[in-house]
Amino acid sequence: MTQKMDMIETLDALFAEVTLLPVINIEREADILPLADALAAGGITTLEITLRTPLGLSAIALLRRERPQLCIGAGTVTDAAQFAAVEQAGAHFAVTPGITEELLQLGLNSRIPLLPGIASASEILAGYRLGYRRFKVFPAHVLGGPALLKAFAGPFQDVRFCPTGGIGQQSISDYLALDNVMAVGGSWVAPKTSIAAADWAEITRLSLAATALAGQR
Ligand code: 3PG
């Protein structure tokens, strides 16, 4: 069985106008809506809420209910139970930091598209043989940054990537200049310290700076 074409089309539609994917860890329930609103005020329409904290799942459900205009991805999905839970919570898509056979198989039959995380050509091939054509690259910076993505364009001409890990305001343009980069992800627009200080104005400022650069693509 291969990943259905409509999964790729769904991902492409979700990212057609979107080149930034903030990666968000939620530590306090009270932060969820103001944080999303601060990002939205900076032009961010799509977020990845990770399951790295116990509040991740309920944050996805809350945002789907209270901010239906936002596109909410679920990140750091690492096993079948989490995949089922994020589908149930209403996530629009799921992101994994790496691949397992179990996760790749689940993504073939899921109601929501999966963006599997890869770090090597061999991992791309493991997904490619099942029909996957869209991947997260993690951790992008330490793996080689834009030069790695450029190298992947050789053998994988119909594949597009969302690099994350170690990306910041200073490097987004280098990634987005590449045809095989669909979007860049990362936590720099919502730093842990700003969330802890409930400094929503700073998060809007960082988001505006990022969307201004990304919009110039
Ligand atoms: C991710 O899961 O994509 C990363 O944790 C985000 O990486 P960053 O914090 O270096 O942006």
pLDDT digits (tens, 9 = 90+) for 7-39: 899 999 999 999 999 999 999 999 999 999 999
**Predicted structure pTM score:** 0.95
Under a CB-based contact definition with an 8 Å cutoff, are residues 171 and 163 in contact? no
**The two structure tokens encoding residue 130:** 């099942």
Question: Rounded mean pLDDT of 183-209?
Answer: 97
> For this structure, is 136 an active site residue?
yes
Q: What is the pLDDT of residue 216?
A: 59
Q: Strand 184-186 to strand 93-95: parallel, antiparallel, or no bridges (unpaired)?
A: unpaired
Catalytic-role residue among 136, 150, 192, 202? 136
**Banded model confidence at residue 2, pLDDT cuts 50, 70, 90:** low
> For this structure, is 87 an active site residue?
no
**Banded model confidence at residue 3, pLDDT cuts 50, 70, 90:** low
Residue 1 has pLDDT above 60, yes or no: no
* Domain range summary for the chain, segments of one domain joined by +: 2-211
101 CA → ligand 1 middle, Å: 23
Residue 4 has pLDDT above 60, yes or no: yes
Say yes or no: CB of residue 56 within 6 Å of ligand 1.
no
Query: What average pLDDT does the structure give for the chain?
Result: 95
1 CA → ligand 1 middle, Å: 31
* Class of the CATH domain delimited by 2-211: alpha beta
- Residue 112 backbone dihedrals phi, psi, to 5 degrees: -115, 150
Q: What is the pLDDT of residue 5?
A: 72
Say yes or no: CB of residue 188 within 6 Å of ligand 1.
yes
Name the closest-CA residue to atom 9, ligand 1: 187
Largest interatomic CA distance in the chain: 48
Pocket test for ligand 1, best of 47, 136, 138, 194 (most atoms within 8 A of CB): 138
DSSP letter for each residue of the chain: ----HHHHHHHHHHTSS--EEEEE----GGGHHHHHHHHHHTT--EEEEESSSTTHHHHHHHHHHH-TTSEEEEE---SHHHHHHHHHHT-SEEE-SS--HHHHHHHHH-SS-EE-EE-SHHHHHHHHTTT--EEEETTHHHHTTHHHHHHHTTT-TT-EEEEBSS--TTTHHHHHTSTTB--EEESTTS-HHHHHTT-HHHHHHHHHHHHHHHTT-
Say yes or no: CB of residue 145 within 6 Å of ligand 1.
no
